[in-house]
Amino acid sequence: MTDRPQNKDAANSMWGGRFAAGPDAIMEAINASIGFDRRLYAQDIRGSRAHAAMLAAQGIISDSDAKAIGEGLLTVLSEIEAGDFPFRTALEDIHMNVEARLKEIIGEPAGRLHTGRSRNDQVATDFRLWVRDQCDAAIEGLQALIRAALSQAEAGADWVMPGFTHLQTAQPVTWGHHMMAYVEMFGRDLSRFQDARARMNESPLGAAALAGTGYPIDRDATARALGFDRPMANSLDAVSDRDFALEFLSAASICAVHLSRLAEELVIWSSAQFRFVSMSDKWSTGSSIMPQKRNPDAAELIRAKIGRILGATVALFTVMKGLPLAYSKDMQEDKEQVFDAADNLMLALAAMAGMLSDLTANRDKMEAAASAGFSTATDLADWLVREAGLPFRDAHHVTGSLVALAESKGVDLSDLTLAQMKSVHDAITDDIFGVLGVHNSVASRQSYGGTAPDQVRAQITRWKEKLA
């Protein structure tokens, strides 16, 4: 009796039930990337058309072959966009799928397309083009989000609300000032994507497998045709570099953190305990059993996106950290992480811009909250330094005693009588009441970047000009 298994299931028991055949099928499954890198089809075809045109211009292939290739690639593009393209796993990736279909359409000239290049520089070019497009999309999404935040800031430049530290009432600020804090944060995100885009705008095409090519290609021409500033200066680096993807993911992760922080505040502010804001029905859901509920699901989902985006960032850093030059198959694992992160970032940016545009801030609730919790205590201490000549530490102590007195009587600082204040420190005069109101407090914060309405409006103007 032979030791060889007699049926297919037994033959594959060591591989698990996922595969219907032996190791050949498993190798095909682990090696193929067409299931996800088909998303690069437009960039792949664009790069191939630029390469074919350059080959003809350099006399490496005939003009007639280049024309057939160019037109055939447009046919392939239309088939993919119409959903009629026969993607085949056996052909591994988008590059081979496109080239095989091109051969079916135009015949022998298709075989000349790959002259002077490799799949290594081809995929590096395709992926770089795709990530560059995502930088452009992120820039556009951030600009829309910043405009939405600016609209909120402009509407509430002098609406008073509590500012918090440790989620405890600290000092009064304005709604406009709080919104402008996020404008600054998203503005830094904007600059990071702009910087990353500028840095990645070099072309790997023409680096071939790793050492360049002996054909008299014109890398400057293909770089220009694809909108790159220049060709990459080292062929080894060109095919092995994924810094552009890591930079995109890093910028996306920081942006997602900012989105998550704003989402968290929207969740808190929309709660029954705060009621600082009301979400529109577009961005809320109800409860299956509690009819009074309006759940801020969109904000909560945005808050969760950082997990996926940061996870993708860590995953790609881990893939790249130990790779020798130049290309290794490990780098096939770069795309799914970036695709997923980009999808989720663009969705989160669009959702947050929509929420802010539809958001209603409750001015009365915010002002009432700002007036509670002794939020003008620092103003009182500053008055004691400025008008009574106390050292700040002494003024801090006196103010603390006044807060304790007000707390014991169940009133706010502005509700204490002058006599009660003088019982704590005799230097206090009736002028103290001029700084204790929350509107007086925010109006006094005239330092650059402060919460005074004039300062807030100045920053709004600066940002409008910047975006224009």
List residues with catalytic annotation: 166, 287
Q: Which long-range contacts (CB under 8 A, 24 or more apart) does 283-291 make?
A: 283/351, 283/354, 283/355, 283/358
Give the whole-angstrom CA distance, residue 403 versus residue 414. 10
For residue 295, list its beta bridge partners.
285
DSSP string, 68-117: HHHHHHHHHHHHHHHT-----GGG-SHHHHHHHHHHHHH-GGGGGTTTT-
Give the whole-angstrom CA distance, residue 170 versus residue 180. 18
Give the whole-angstrom CA distance, residue 101 versus residue 95. 10
Q: What angle do CA 52, 53, 58 make, to 5 degrees?
A: 95
Give the whole-angstrom CA distance, residue 178 versus residue 10. 65
| Residues 89 and 32: beta-carbon distance below 8 Å | yes
Give the whole-angstrom CA distance, residue 186 versus residue 144. 10
Work out whether strand 230-231 and strand 277-278 pair parallel, antiparallel, or are unpaired: unpaired
| Residues 85 and 76: beta-carbon distance below 8 Å | yes
Give the whole-angstrom CA distance, residue 121 versus residue 231. 12
Give the whole-angstrom CA distance, residue 174 versus residue 197. 35
| Residues 183 and 152: beta-carbon distance below 8 Å | no
Q: Which of the 8 DSSP states describes residue 131?
A: H
- Helices in 163-242 by DSSP H: which ranges? 175-200, 219-225, 235-240
Which amino acid is residue 11, in one-letter code? A
| Residues 193 and 142: beta-carbon distance below 8 Å | yes
| Residues 361 and 157: beta-carbon distance below 8 Å | no
**Helices and strands (H, E) in the chain, number of each type:** 20, 6
Which amino acid is residue 241, in one-letter code? D
